Structure 1
Amino acid sequence: MKFDMHCHTSNGSFDSRVDIEEYIELLRMEGFQGMLVTDHNTYNGYRAWEKIRRRTHKYDDFVVLKGVEYDTRDAGHILVIMPDDVNLKVLEVRGMPLRQLIYTVHAFGGILGPAHPYGAPYLSAMRCRRLKIQGDLLHAFDFVEAFNTCETKESNRQAKRLVDVYHKVGFGGSDSHRPQDVGLAFTEIDADVRCNSDLIYAVKTGKVVGFGGMEREKQKNVAVQRAMSVPFRMYNRSLWAAKAMSRRNNLKHLFQHGA
């Protein structure tokens, strides 16, 4: 089965211009059988899909999976996939440090891996200090996004090397925020994946067999990326601080009462 494993919808990500239905239509036209919705720190895009699914059978031949692109405090963006029967509200509250995120996700049967690990300094795990001083955390990842349409050839080459060196499953994702980028990356799975639990099982049993795609023609200027890093980091830190109490309360409730 052919999936796009990094998808942003306008229903969940403020910086996306692709509605969930348009996303599905575009992917189906390109021969995809499914997608993983990975909006920023929210499941609202997937919730929009659930409403559509309840009222129509138009997309019964297409699989929509539930994920999130989580903003960690110290290691950039991490893709997270939880089992179907697990709903962790804390994954919609940005700012957990990477070690806490890994522990929480694995404690409740989920899997996770770095998005665009060699991308922009303020967004990507391998550009952050945490992975430089605690490289052992790389072993805890279940997969690596080894191809991202938004990245350069060199960035994707380095990500693929992570897969090879650490013997991890590789994902391909378009990271699409615009219609013209939908379906430019793919992940091939040699299994019948119909739900999140199927995907988690496929990852753990070696059924993810390929990834790849096409980089965008135009890439962001490195100097522009560096200039953006300081204000973006300040913006993120202000949000982490504002949500600190909510995050602590969610984690406390989670480990006292379960998901």
Structure 2
Amino acid sequence: MFKLETHCHTSEVSGCSRLPAVQLVTQLKRSGYGGAVITDHFHHGYFDSLTGSWTQKIDCFLSGYRAAREAGAQAGLHIYCGLEFRTTTSDNDYLLFGAAPELLYSTPELHRYTIPQLRALADREGLLLVQAHPFRTGLTREDPALLDGVEVFNGNARHDSHNDDALRFARENGLLFFSGSDHHETEDRGRGGMVLPREPKDEADLVRLLPSAGLLPDILLEFFPVKPEK
């Protein structure tokens, strides 16, 4: 079994995070994870603040991921590339799994995509599109037809994500269940995540395995256990 953090941020890229990538990796390793998806915030405000070409902007965005990957290689923690997406017209957040660096470089102006455009990209490239913490105050629920899954457990210690409502929304609409710590600060560590049947080889393999994952924290595993690999 492979314990995975699906939602975490580095201070190199996400202004709301207090944890540099090296410190984040240390905390993840000590919390018993075998790997983590770095899901730094991906939105127009960040990209519009940068100068240079699209390649240079993606270099900046991936700086936290790359620092985490380097630290992870030394610590024995497998790091995967992901992102937490926000459109130009809403404060809703969406986790995108399977988005390897090569895809980000080859998709100019991705930060300006609408959710229907992101859905089309996910279908074309074999990604998973998941709405994060959809029941936080001020957020709205996305059209379920545009989603693969919902973050039914968000462990951020400073937000009430109304996880029970998120679970009900996912169940009612036949969507995949996801769990993540939303790790920005030390107090968030080890609060969520998923358990996979084995270690994913890369981002594409991660997408294949996530539908079989069980949910953390451990109490959730009693109700949402790991399923056999498909």
User: Is residue 31–residue 189 contact of structure 2 (8 Å, CA) maintained in 1?
Assistant: no
Report what 1:156 is aligned to: 163
Rounded Cα–Cα distance in structure 2 between residues aligned with 1:62 and 1:125: 34
Report what 1:21 is aligned to: 22
Report what 1:66 is aligned to: 81
Report the CA distance between 1:191 and its aligned residue.
2.6
**Matching residue within 39, 45, 48 for 2:67:** 48
Aligned ranges for residues 50-199 of structure 1 at < 5 Å? 50=69, 52=70, 57-59=73-75, 61-74=76-89, 76-82=92-98, 84=100, 86-89=102-105, 90=107, 93-121=110-138, 124-126=139-141, 131=142, 135=143, 138-150=144-156, 151-152=159-160, 155-199=162-206
Rounded Cα–Cα distance in structure 1 between residues aligned with 2:108 and 2:214: 28
Report the CA distance between 1:163 and its aligned residue.
2.5
SS at match of 2:111: coil
Report the CA distance between 1:183 and its aligned residue.
1.8
User: Is residue 83–residue 200 contact of structure 1 (8 Å, CA) maintained in 2?
Assistant: no
Letter of the aligned partner of 2:122 in structure 1? V
Question: Percent identity at matched positions?
Answer: 25
**Structure 1, unpaired ranges of 5+:** 215-259
Rounded Cα–Cα distance in structure 2 between residues aligned with 1:163 and 1:16: 28
Report what 1:200 is aligned to: 207
SS at match of 2:201: coil
Report the CA distance between 1:162 and its aligned residue.
2.2
Rounded Cα–Cα distance in structure 2 between residues aligned with 1:46 and 1:16: 13
Rounded Cα–Cα distance in structure 2 between residues aligned with 1:92 and 1:66: 18
Letter of the aligned partner of 1:142 in structure 2? D
TM-score by length of 1: 0.67
Letter of the aligned partner of 2:123 in structure 1? H
Rounded Cα–Cα distance in structure 1 between residues aligned with 2:183 and 2:73: 25
User: Is residue 170–residue 211 contact of structure 1 (8 Å, CA) maintained in 2?
Assistant: no
Report the CA distance between 1:46 and its aligned residue.
0.9
Answer with 1 or 2: which has the greater Rg: 1
RMSD of Structure 2 on Structure 1 (CA): 2.5
The structure whose residues are more often helix, as a share, is 1
Report the CA distance between 1:139 and its aligned residue.
2.7
Report the CA distance between 1:120 and its aligned residue.
3.2
Paired residues in the alignment total 196
Report the CA distance between 1:92 and its aligned residue.
7.0
Rounded Cα–Cα distance in structure 1 between residues aligned with 2:74 and 2:167: 36
When residues 159 and 198 of structure 1 are mapped into structure 2, their CA distance, relative to the original with a 3 A threshold, is same
Letter of the aligned partner of 1:87 in structure 2? L
Deviations 1:60-90 (CA, angstroms, capped at 9, x unpaired): x211111001112345111112354742244
